[in-house]
């Protein structure tokens, strides 16, 4: 509240003015009344108050020009036009008094406040997002993970086209999923174009490029890529890069409401297909254990990665079925159906 000594000269001062309530509103005549702590805008006929502005918040938008333009703060939409010289002088005087009486922190205080602000910004920018993403990922229930994976798959479809959907091929993919992962069969999606290497999404979704499936010599090769990708998904939670892409706001919304927002996934599919960094290597021991559990030989997959076998020698020499016949992965008919999944 401004000091009364500054107001005494202008006590109950009134003048005409033109007032606009919003940027879209028409201007209307008002009576501008200066009170002890407020500026009251009233209807000249009914004397009913139409708006009331706090004096410390009143800003002059065109200093030195006439008529004077005022607003009750930045970005409010309201606007007042005053031509009365006494009212303009009163408002300018009060503005000067109020500015002089505002506290002006010293240099040390500014340094402290600036350092504190930088610390807060650093925490928000560098520490909070990582902590929030990790905590959100740990709290997400399976149905929400599945929803996120399907949403990411839909965004990916805008880049790669929809996953291949021939009925026999889909049936073959489901058979393969059940054969390799009987306890928890994944959703296997084969993409016609765009994707250049296997990938995974939250909700137990495994992605394969169509050329990889179509060019494989045997179902054991495709089975090897699926086993490796499932192991990669278990070792690195696929929801983490998705939450990082969504950003802080969408992650907070997901954590509080269960839904990240309509545009949260936008661009994730393009980001996924543009990844060119080498896939993180998987330990031979973990891969061999996965092949042994799934009853699939590891040599076909190893030679698919390196035809010479030099860089995948560990998977070849320690193949759990090098001397023992392995269980058939798919029948010949089902394998052909899987390879033809993109023909329709």
Angle at 136 between CA 135 and CA 137, to 5 degrees: 90
pLDDT of residue 317: 95
Comparison of pLDDT for 98 and 21, the residue scoring more: 21
What is the pLDDT at residue 328?
A: 93
Residue 120 confidence (pLDDT) above 70: no
| Annotated domain spans of the chain | 4-101, 143-339
Distance, CA of 50 to CA of 40 (rounded, Å): 8
Which pLDDT score, from 0 to 100, does residue 131 have?
55
Residue 76 has pLDDT above 50, yes or no: yes
Strands (E) across the chain are located at: 14-20, 28-34, 38-42, 49-54, 59-60, 68-71, 79-82, 187-191, 199-201, 205-209
The count of C-alpha atoms lying within 13 angstroms of the C-alpha of 323, restricted to the half-sphere facing its C-beta, is: 2
Whether the predicted pLDDT of 121 surpasses 80? no
pLDDT for position 303: 96
| Tokens (6 digits) for 322 | 């090098």
Q: How far is CA 249 from the centre of its chain?
A: 6
Q: What is the DSSP letter of 133?
A: H
Q: Check pLDDT > 80 for residue 82.
A: yes
Give the CATH architecture of domain 4-101: Roll (2.30)
pLDDT grade for 73, boundaries at 50, 70 and 90: confident
Backbone angles phi, psi at 32, to 5 degrees: -90, 115
In whole angstroms, what separates CA 13 from the centre of its chain? 54
* Residue 18 C-beta-side C-alpha neighbours within 13 Å: 8
Q: pTM of the entire structure?
A: 0.62
How big is the chain by its Cα radius of gyration, in Å? 34
Provide CB contacts within 8 A for 264, sequence distance 6+: 151, 246, 247, 250, 253, 254
Q: How far apart are CA 114 and CA 111, in angstroms?
A: 5
Paired tokens of 96: 């000067």
Q: Looking at per-residue confidence, does 224 or 138 come out higher?
A: 224
Give the strand order in the sheet containing 199-201: 187-191, 205-209, 199-201
Q: Are strands 38-42 and 68-71 parallel, antiparallel or unpaired?
A: unpaired
Count CB-CB contacts under 10 A for residue 192. 16
Residue 7: pLDDT band with limits 50, 70, 90: low
Q: What whole-number distance in Å separates Cα of residue 16 and Cα of residue 84?
A: 7
**Average pLDDT score over the chain:** 83
Cα torsion 184, 326, 319, 195 to 10°: value is -50
Q: Is the pLDDT at 293 greater than 90, yes or no?
A: yes
* CA angle at 134 for the pair 130 and 135, rounded to the nearest 5°: 115
């Amino acid at each position: 509240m401004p000091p009364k000594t500054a107001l005494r000269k202008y006590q109950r001062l009134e003048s005409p003015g033109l007032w606009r309530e919003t940027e879209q509103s028409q201007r209307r005549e008002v009576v501008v009344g200066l009170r002890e702590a407020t500026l009251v805008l009233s209807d000249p006929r009914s004397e009913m108050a139409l708006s009331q502005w706090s004096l410390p918040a009143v800003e002059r938008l065109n200093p030195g020009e006439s008529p004077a333009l005022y607003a009750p703060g930045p970005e409010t939409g309201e606007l007042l036009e005053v031509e009365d010289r006494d009212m303009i002088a009163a408002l300018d005087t009060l503005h000067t008094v109020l500015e002089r009486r505002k506290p002006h922190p010293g240099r040390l205080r500014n340094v402290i406040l600036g350092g504190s602000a930088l610390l807060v910004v650093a925490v928000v920018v560098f520490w909070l997002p990582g902590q929030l993403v990790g905590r959100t990922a740990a709290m997400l229930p399976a149905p929400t993970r599945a929803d996120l994976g399907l949403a990411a798959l839909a965004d990916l479809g805008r880049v790669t086209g929809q996953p291949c959907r021939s009925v026999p091929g889909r049936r073959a993919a489901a058979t393969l999923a059940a054969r390799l992962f009987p306890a928890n069969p994944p959703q296997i999606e084969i993409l016609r174009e765009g994707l250049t290497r296997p990938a995974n999404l939250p909700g137990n979704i495994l992605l394969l490029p169509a050329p990889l499936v179509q060019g494989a010599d045997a179902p054991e090769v495709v089975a090897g890529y699926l086993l490796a990708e499932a192991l990669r998904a278990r070792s690195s939670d696929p929801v983490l890069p998705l939450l990082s892409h969504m950003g802080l706001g969408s992650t907070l919304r997901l954590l509080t409401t269960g839904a990240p927002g309509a545009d949260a996934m936008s661009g994730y599919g393009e980001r996924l297909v543009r990844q060119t960094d080498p896939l993180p290597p998987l330990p031979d021991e973990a891969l061999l254990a996965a092949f042994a559990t799934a009853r699939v030989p590891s040599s076909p997959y190893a030679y698919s990665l390196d035809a010479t076998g030099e860089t995948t020698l560990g998977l070849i020499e320690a193949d759990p079925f090098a001397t023992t016949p392995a269980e058939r992965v798919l029948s010949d008919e089902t394998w052909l159906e899987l390879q033809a999944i993109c023909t329709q």
